[in-house]
Structure 1
């Protein structure tokens, strides 16, 4: 794994300038840094990271069992083959990212402990100025850049979302959120209640089953899951044939993406059939007579929320063994010894884990200004979920809901590099997206169609996000199979791009 030592830095009163400022050293930021070195080798750049290590989610989340809920053949970068099991632990993902950093000499570009407080654009100077706090020394530093590449993700790392329930203050045990898992938390011989039913809960429950007295997953409503071996038969067969790993990576990625696209489209065209297929997988893993209808049959159609893959059915094996259980119901209140449900049932707990989601963070909770005026991203319209009307020289990486985040990070990186090179050829120092004459009467809609996708964190934070239009170029389509061809084909001289 790459070293995390921070390079020597200039005195705080100096202002450093870079061609490109990358925000975040997670999966998107490290990928962006790689693509810059390959496609824009003459550009100077720096990667600013608040934490003391690269990795983003895979570094900040420390709860037991943390793993990917996407296969690493597509969550991994397209330029570096993934050679292990498709569902990977955080440690394995960090090791993979560390190899990317080391193999491409990226460590010298990364600055840890750098929290961005303010970002200001000046049209006079055609540059961004960042006010940054060095969190290891509380020192303030200033950096300027021609282009700002936001790779910080979409949620607040410092605190997860925990609803408030009556009586929480009376509970005599501990209440923790997986996003800030305490290092001193001892679960041995304890009854653990995990509130939630998403990918985090489905990871955490089997990881602690057998290590605590008992673990109960309490859900307000069920979630869809997919089960299967933590292996890709095609990859195994190709390795047996001694095919080169780079070829395996490309072939397996295309196979997975094709199958995922087919499955997603079927969830729209034949949702009931897909639903029954998913439920059949779960019934096969549980005892005959288990109440799958109550505990694992969601009220929404497949893919309106993210479907987590449960490798080797470990969640359901934990339930079948009796080490874990599932309760479906709504919380009335906390008590001193657990929670009371609206049904009247009480659940005893020594530890309550609120696996209840994220707090949406739009562009890192940074205070943005354009020419001295505060900017609200909710007042902008997005160009393909990457750029925003009235916001110069800025691109945001926002991945896919139904496919691996990194797929879009790679596509956006190609777009940014192509845009930077195009600006150089034009002699332009500024680019902004703007609605064209034919777009002026276009209906403006919320960032995502809630009939299409509606997780809680999106619904809670929709008012913070930019608007979308009813044309493909003014929306984040969430369709990798289309975007893999559309984004590379974007006409950078289209009237939507205004250069200066």
Structure 2
């Protein structure tokens, strides 16, 4: 009789269980881990991060001059005083985050190099099963009772670059800020930066001086605010040797008060605000500069994100002749640069496409609910944090007119309070669902285009959840309303269904 050979069956990877699994070790995920440790002691958790280290955006982006476009007194955590200049470099932000991790012993909870491929919810066990791919190609499996999505809202692996005619024949380098080559030498080179947002306004002065010349090519202008990269009251309080925790809170409140007043003015007196913003630019560039053409947008102030230019470095580079702005549209790339629709040509050795990013939802993870693929854009959001038909999950999505971390801190408070409430009532599952009084509620997009019209939103709105016409069923994008509303959420409201 022939001998039967046994065929070895590959062993399935071991499964590790935690009470809460946080996706992403960026500003939201590290903050979430801190709050979970402080507010839900004894609960087990892990943070899974696809990259080789913490930081998210501040690790992904390595372009010249990368810095925050929000002040660090509000972009920083409420529990960790910021002691540097309000507009900070990526390295300064990473150092700050590293201090948070080390001071609170969070490093032992973070697993780097784990890219989540799938998340499967099973109602029978009230658990999520997570599969993550490690750097070596092996698979790690986890189960968790609650999934906390802190991965942001754009695709880190690639930025958005439009397809213009003739790009293939351009003999120079085309780079996107999100995938900046470490060995790119731009000294003495002619550089064209396509775009007019905060990234373009950061790159231009950082490259000017070393490059032969830097041109910002924009289809339409953007509003900018300028000012000193410092805060007088913070400097004065430090001279008085006031405790840094007090300084952080005082300056934070002052900035938030002034931001609220400014945003209110952009709605109630937009023409006056517009005049003030353009007046700043005219004072820096002189009476002969065509400010109306290059810095007078078609939209009202704050209908798109309004970037702060610290110490007016963008305008100083233009005034010095090291940089310039061209407002036109691209006809085609040529071998030596870009031909514009006006007939003018821009010679370039390097073209930087500061043209935005790909908006995504839930980190491009394959999510299923009891075997059914989740159609995220068919859900309705509960205050921009939870979603109908998606059990035991919360998502952090920050603000468009204020610092992201303001909301990340408040979402963390909500999640911790919800987890503690579930434990008290011995519930293993929570869903949000429309209430009887919400029947027939009109649904709309995640972001109202009249309120915020940036290109990445227009391109990606279709992948995001729907919102309702009641405060509970939309993301207000208004810190000054939510700072009181989110802590007051009634967890016994009929919108929460516990099982």
TM-score, normalised via structure 1 length = 0.97
User: Which sections of structure 2, spanning at least 5 residues, go unmatched?
Assistant: 1-10
Q: Which residue number corresponds to residue 383 of structure 1? A: 382
3-state SS, counterpart of residue 226 of structure 2: strand
Cα contact 1:121–1:128 (8 A) shared by 2:
yes
For 1:94-138, what per-residue CA distance to the aligned partner results, in whole angstroms no more than 9, with x for missing partners? 00000000000000000000000000000000010011100x210
Cα contact 1:36–1:417 (8 A) shared by 2:
yes
3-state SS, counterpart of residue 255 of structure 2: helix
3-state SS, counterpart of residue 325 of structure 1: strand
State the Cα distance separating 1:12 from its structure 2 match.
6.4
Q: Which residue number corresponds to residue 209 of structure 1? A: 208
Within 2, Cα distance between the matches of 1:238 and 1:494?
Answer: 44
Cα contact 1:12–1:139 (8 A) shared by 2:
no
**Relative to 1, partners in 2 of residues 1:12 and 1:281: Cα closer, same or farther, differing over 3 Å?**
farther
Within 2, Cα distance between the matches of 1:165 and 1:310?
Answer: 29
Q: Which residue number corresponds to residue 231 of structure 1? A: 230
Q: Which residue number corresponds to residue 473 of structure 2? A: 474
Within 1, Cα distance between the matches of 2:444 and 2:481?
Answer: 21
Within 1, Cα distance between the matches of 2:125 and 2:370?
Answer: 10
The count of aligned residue pairs is: 489
The aligned runs of 1:170-319 (5 Å cut-off) are 170-319=169-318
The aligned runs of 1:65-76 (5 Å cut-off) are 65-76=65-76
State the Cα distance separating 1:189 from its structure 2 match.
1.2
The aligned runs of 1:8-407 (5 Å cut-off) are 13-134=13-134, 136-407=135-406
Within 2, Cα distance between the matches of 1:478 and 1:320?
Answer: 36
Cα contact 1:12–1:142 (8 A) shared by 2:
no
State the Cα distance separating 1:287 from its structure 2 match.
2.5
3-state SS, counterpart of residue 414 of structure 2: helix
For 1:15-48, what per-residue CA distance to the aligned partner results, in whole angstroms no more than 9, with x for missing partners? 0000000000000000000001100011100000
State the Cα distance separating 1:225 from its structure 2 match.
0.3
For 1:246-290, what per-residue CA distance to the aligned partner results, in whole angstroms no more than 9, with x for missing partners? 001001101100100111111111111111111111111112210
Within 2, Cα distance between the matches of 1:183 and 1:91?
Answer: 15
Q: Which residue number corresponds to residue 425 of structure 2? A: 426
Q: Which residue number corresponds to residue 457 of structure 1? A: 456
Structure 1 segments of 4+ aligned residues over 3 angstroms from their partners? none
Within 2, Cα distance between the matches of 1:348 and 1:256?
Answer: 42
For 1:411-454, what per-residue CA distance to the aligned partner results, in whole angstroms no more than 9, with x for missing partners? 00000000000000010000000000011110010111100011
For 1:224-243, what per-residue CA distance to the aligned partner results, in whole angstroms no more than 9, with x for missing partners? 00000000111111111211
Within 1, Cα distance between the matches of 2:175 and 2:12?
Answer: 37
Within 2, Cα distance between the matches of 1:268 and 1:155?
Answer: 28
Within 2, Cα distance between the matches of 1:12 and 1:232?
Answer: 56
Within 1, Cα distance between the matches of 2:428 and 2:484?
Answer: 27
Cα contact 1:337–1:349 (8 A) shared by 2:
yes
Cα contact 1:159–1:180 (8 A) shared by 2:
yes
Within 2, Cα distance between the matches of 1:179 and 1:49?
Answer: 18
Within 2, Cα distance between the matches of 1:397 and 1:221?
Answer: 31
Q: Report which of the two structures shows the higher radius of gyration computed on alpha carbons.
A: 2
Within 1, Cα distance between the matches of 2:432 and 2:297?
Answer: 40
3-state SS, counterpart of residue 156 of structure 2: coil
User: Which sections of structure 1, spanning at least 5 residues, go unmatched?
Assistant: 1-10
What's the Cα RMSD here?
0.7
